[in-house]
Structure 1
């Protein structure tokens, strides 16, 4: 009797256990998306950790499965980092965002030409930097990772300010900031309504991703002859809450902290980051101090709606050391120009921006994404011979409607949209001698506006052949009010300029040879309108109303693909672009009555021919101490020359013909190579070599910036410490070969008496840094 009772007790206990397990088991549905564009990641894998049970996301990124409370769901996809999320009692619907890895980049979805696609299926050259690429450096200097993209070069005026990006020869048309390309931060335009891109108020340490669309993109993005740069900030992982503290210190008084709070529910995420940075600099009068605050939020309101929010604030103060000549950069790169020191030359910036993006999926085939933003800047900039004070207020938006039908044999995709940007700039210029304010030189109110409408369509005209075509109609307007009264010695320069609208078409063919390899060919037209700094000569109070936009037509062929089970990937592109009405900046030295200034004219035609190549191999052994060996290399060849190019349009005895000369500021050869090694206990090693060929720095090609090689390295250890702490500690070094080079060269300057232009902004010799990131996960 006793044995029967025991048997029944065991049976009841067993049945109760099964009942409890069945009761705890729940049905979970969700979707897996790319965080920067909310696009579904088709074929992503969902696996319950420690088991073989799982499922796969469909073409909409959606999945459905059963799991128990406490299970750990592992989400993975080719080209993306694996993410683990715990199942809670309240878990029913999940939105999973996967960040791209730095291996097999061809599978990552990018913004492209208004319709997101994987890199491999985008019919154009796209460069991508992921969070893992950024983490392999100190994260502070944009050029240390963006310069690894072929055809792209970031330049810096100081150790922490004055960034400008040059894409296929565009971006260095002025000696301050950048023109000729468009830049966006979380879909918010960074480029002003006048075409100027100011990057000193962007906290690069918070970036998780950089996409570079190379070549004319005016058919979709407007004023973008060189290309488009999309920056994206870090997101909080869905379903996790954490607090992290980063501390970094290095040579020349570098000190950086980041304090962040990240929290995410099943369908929302919020990331708040405060950063403080101090840098004494290696040159006299070259220190920098910056404070950043950023808030990023993503909310998936329903299966059809999602919304993203960004708020940013920056307060920075960067002293300027001035430029040196070719002797000074070699013999005394640490000294400052006395004219800069005596006037306390600097860039003081206070900036704020707010943007909100809304995605709405009307149906399986029809959607809209709309972004609106508002921002402002206050810039106070004393320089060697004066001071400029600028207040900016800007606003605008961008909206794109997209229709796609994958069920049709033609797989048509159509995008129609528009973009609007407007600036109110209040700019005053004064004389400045020995840091004593002088007479008012200019007092201008500039209203700069650019807007465009565009359409883009693509269809699969054959089983493996896709045809795409589109066009944008682009407008640029300047309204200039001169607040100075006209006198016998001064002519009021108020006026209005509306450039002739520019129609920019684009057509492309893409052939998918295999599932892992594609070919493409494209032809596109683009334009680059003169920026306010080129139209308005603040130092002399003159407005140049005769300028016209630069126009370019680009032809490009290329291929992207992977081999060896997607461990070896490549991208190659060749392009040729003819540019007319090229804007030519010419520097004029100071006189007793007029400070140094730059005058810009439309003076010629330029031919750009280039080859870009990138190859990487990712070896991931399944066993052993080493978990990753990733060598990579990229190469850029640039044959850029003046085709019909003169110093001015006067055609008189003073006009100089530069035809057949090499374009100034462009290195004919750039080579990057590196390796990443990761060991399973958590140790890692990152190394990079960058070679930049010598380049002419003036129109006549009789002065050259010398070639240089940079070697950077970083070693560290990252690991979980128990269930709640993550630690990353590291040390690194930049310019390990102690090379002498200029991080930014002022182009086409007039030569002083010694025939050595003050063109060079020296970069530091060898530097060291160390840091740590400690994260607590609730």
Structure 2
């Protein structure tokens, strides 16, 4: 008996010693934020899994609760994906980042015009693509998911390169790269100081989010008459460490791998990704090889300070097959231009960029976000009649101070900031025939500089009515030094010079009416501008400098509404805009001669009227029980009525001048329709289907040549699931262009016609393609 008593006493003492460690509760505090802008997600819920205990984040996104070591905390918010985080013995303070879902996007916080706020409360049209939207595709092609946004169209010159983004008709003013909009990657400007945007060194597979502000944004972003595109890369989940390997293979020799290491503590995260991609190509001489390395880091030093770092490196080599005419695209779409093949036309790019963003919340009402960056590119580009070699170095920064006071009856929000960009471009051009290097044609040192200051303010002038207004003062200047003239024949014209465009003040004003908690209306008036690029100012082939070129100016008026019904399962967005653009820049192509390669001259040709309607609707049905967990049909529609108004072939007003007034604007399809459905089944299976229709469009100024309409149907079937506590698996198969439609994603516009009256304008895209892939992730 004494032995039993002694054993019981020892056991009780041991339990007493260990119970405090096992059952002691931890007092946790934390903050729930949007990962791309560090803004608090007010009202987010925190639930201890398997219990009824939890709490709700306050207006600052902050929360506190007691939990045990080993508990699983579930974080959720309307418009965002649910995240589960385990509680460790060392956990005391957490910063939780929630990624947006692709349902009820009106509740997601975006960059906006003055200060970050939800889409529904942004007085303007905003398109948002989330990681779930990107996962509906193989992730390689920006056009497969960004084109779902009404009013936006991504075009590709080749199967893997030559991306340009067209927003409300802007972005296709030149046949290479994009103009008329600004693009950013993790807040780092991708657009050069001369207004051109080069996207071929971006690894689209690492993106987790794309935001598009549609319409003039020069009042806050500078040279951006078409709008702004904000790209964001994946972040590592806070509090988790994982390593993943993804492999993708498909038609035309497609092979892609992604190797990722993601690690996160309670308040820091690091994502390192290496990607390798290879295509044999759909067309003769259309292959591609790319290597990407990216590093993304987020650190939350305190509740007031956070910092993000991005470093990226790209080495890519894309062969160019050249343009073919309207007969060849029907009969031999895989063919290429012999001149491109003989010169081994291609774009070889080596690129690096690094940037750091710092957020500081001085007080509850006053904050600052500052981004600085540096980058460089080396581009070697042989083409049909020559070769261009370009070295670029660029740097700059952006800083915005914001003030908001929700306690005041007027709820004022004020932002003041500035942005600075500068490029040093060293560009040489040589003759090239059958792969044999010829004489030096151009040797230019170009310095382009763009800077702006801006201010925006918003006041709630009535309980449901908010007035916002702002303006930006924008500067663009170019310095050009011709290094060739001193060593060439006297007939050569020196193109050295300096051009400083007249500063442009671009205002914006808007009214937003919050009719109910779920429905809002807005109206806005704004101005924007797009300065000519240096390649438009200088025509190196002929020794001409277009010093008389003026920036395009646009004045836009827009009305719209956003909202949701049926307990936020049905959401919509509708916008109508009208914009007059004056001093429209138009390039005119001239065929090569025995002494001069093909070239184009840009002129300010007149005015263009843009009228458009954009509509997006989606419904998310989530059954509480049963095999199916989600059915999400969606549709988006764009109507464009764009036509020339007081528009001429040049500004010479002589016998050769042609008046195109009343003609439809080239390169713009009047109707675009996108529709699709997502189905998810609780065991882990999923099905994604998309249909995209593009109407026929004129491709030259007289409107006597049209690119035919086409329809694309894409689909993806997969299975994703957790294999125990440490492994996640995603396997899938898919197909693009399942109807084998004949089409050219990117069409060269306004080219001079050869003798057969068939312009070499088309860059054919592949017929039906297939792919399959798998991703295996190990979570430590």
Residue by residue over 1:21-70, the C-alpha shift from the partner in whole angstroms, topping out at 9 and shown as x without a partner, is 78621100000000000000000000000111000000000000000000
Residue by residue over 1:317-339, the C-alpha shift from the partner in whole angstroms, topping out at 9 and shown as x without a partner, is 00000001000000000011000
Q: Distance in 2 between matches of 1:23 and 1:290?
A: 53
Contact 1:441 1:541 in 2 (8 A): no
The counterpart of 2:497, out of the listed 487, 490, 495, is 495
Contact 2:267 2:300 in 1 (8 A): yes
Q: Distance in 2 between matches of 1:166 and 1:373?
A: 25
Q: Which residue of 1 aligns with 2:168?
A: 168
Secondary structure of 2:602's counterpart equals: strand
Q: Which residue of 1 aligns with 2:435?
A: 435
Q: Distance in 1 between matches of 2:647 and 2:267?
A: 57
Residue by residue over 1:556-597, the C-alpha shift from the partner in whole angstroms, topping out at 9 and shown as x without a partner, is 000000000000000000000000000011111111111111
Residue by residue over 1:630-655, the C-alpha shift from the partner in whole angstroms, topping out at 9 and shown as x without a partner, is 00000000000001100001111100
Q: Which residue of 2 aligns with 1:315?
A: 315
Q: Return 5+ residue gaps in structure 2 as ranges.
A: none
Q: Which residue of 2 aligns with 1:126?
A: 126
Q: Which residue of 1 aligns with 2:393?
A: 393
Residue by residue over 1:234-272, the C-alpha shift from the partner in whole angstroms, topping out at 9 and shown as x without a partner, is 000000000000000000000000001000000000000
TM-score when scaled to structure 1?
Answer: 0.98
Contact 2:492 2:543 in 1 (8 A): no
1:734 is the counterpart of 2:736: yes
1:79 is the counterpart of 2:114: no
Which deviates more from structure 2 when the two are superposed, residues 14-23 or residues 586-595?
Answer: 14-23
Q: Distance in 1 between matches of 2:23 and 2:720?
A: 39
The CA deviation at 1:485 is 2.2
Contact 1:182 1:221 in 2 (8 A): yes
1:510 is the counterpart of 2:512: yes
Secondary structure of 1:88's counterpart equals: coil
Q: Distance in 2 between matches of 1:113 and 1:70?
A: 43
TM-score when scaled to structure 2?
Answer: 0.98
Q: Which residue of 2 aligns with 1:711?
A: 713
Q: Which residue of 2 aligns with 1:619?
A: 621
Q: Which residue of 2 aligns with 1:208?
A: 208
Contact 2:493 2:543 in 1 (8 A): no
Q: Distance in 2 between matches of 1:650 and 1:637?
A: 34
Contact 2:365 2:405 in 1 (8 A): yes
Q: Which residue of 2 aligns with 1:586?
A: 588
Q: Which residue of 2 aligns with 1:352?
A: 352
1:92 is the counterpart of 2:92: yes
Q: Which residue of 2 aligns with 1:575?
A: 577
The CA deviation at 1:303 is 1.4
Contact 1:663 1:699 in 2 (8 A): yes
Q: Return 5+ residue gaps in structure 1 as ranges.
A: none
Contact 2:251 2:770 in 1 (8 A): yes
Secondary structure of 1:79's counterpart equals: coil
Q: Distance in 1 between matches of 2:29 and 2:62?
A: 7
Q: Distance in 1 between matches of 2:629 and 2:542?
A: 61
Contact 2:495 2:538 in 1 (8 A): no
Secondary structure of 2:515's counterpart equals: strand
Count of residues paired in the alignment: 778
Secondary structure of 2:252's counterpart equals: helix
Residues 684-763 of structure 1: pairs in structure 2 closer than 5 A: 684-763=686-765
- Could you say what the CA RMSD is over the residues aligned between the two structures, in angstroms? 1.6
Q: Which residue of 2 aligns with 1:566?
A: 568
Q: Which residue of 2 aligns with 1:272?
A: 272
The CA deviation at 1:8 is 8.8
Q: Which residue of 2 aligns with 1:58?
A: 58
The CA deviation at 1:461 is 0.5
Q: Which residue of 2 aligns with 1:217?
A: 217
Q: Distance in 2 between matches of 1:51 and 1:11?
A: 30
Residue by residue over 1:651-701, the C-alpha shift from the partner in whole angstroms, topping out at 9 and shown as x without a partner, is 111000000000000000000000000000000000000000000000000
Residues 239-388 of structure 1: pairs in structure 2 closer than 5 A: 239-388=239-388
Structure 1 residues 362 and 700: CA distance shift in structure 2, 3 A: same
Secondary structure of 1:114's counterpart equals: coil
Contact 1:442 1:540 in 2 (8 A): no
Structure 1 residues 4 and 276: CA distance shift in structure 2, 3 A: closer
Residues 384-463 of structure 1: pairs in structure 2 closer than 5 A: 384-463=384-463
Residue by residue over 1:264-311, the C-alpha shift from the partner in whole angstroms, topping out at 9 and shown as x without a partner, is 000000000000000001100000000000000000011111000000
Q: Distance in 2 between matches of 1:430 and 1:89?
A: 66
Q: Which residue of 1 aligns with 2:47?
A: 47
The CA deviation at 1:543 is 2.0
Secondary structure of 1:340's counterpart equals: helix
The CA deviation at 1:743 is 1.2
Q: Which residue of 1 aligns with 2:637?
A: 635
Contact 1:30 1:94 in 2 (8 A): yes
Secondary structure of 2:341's counterpart equals: helix
1:542 is the counterpart of 2:544: yes
The CA deviation at 1:542 is 2.5
Q: Distance in 2 between matches of 1:225 and 1:561?
A: 27
Q: Which residue of 1 aligns with 2:673?
A: 671
Q: Which runs of 4+ in 1 moved over 3 A?
A: 1-19
Q: Distance in 2 between matches of 1:245 and 1:11?
A: 49
The CA deviation at 1:442 is 0.8
Q: Which residue of 2 aligns with 1:138?
A: 138
Contact 2:355 2:371 in 1 (8 A): yes
Contact 1:441 1:540 in 2 (8 A): no
Q: Distance in 1 between matches of 2:566 and 2:479?
A: 58
Secondary structure of 1:120's counterpart equals: helix
The CA deviation at 1:403 is 0.5
The CA deviation at 1:538 is 3.2
Contact 1:110 1:118 in 2 (8 A): yes
Q: Distance in 1 between matches of 2:30 and 2:110?
A: 22
Secondary structure of 1:701's counterpart equals: coil
Residue by residue over 1:375-414, the C-alpha shift from the partner in whole angstroms, topping out at 9 and shown as x without a partner, is 0000000000011110000000000000010111111000
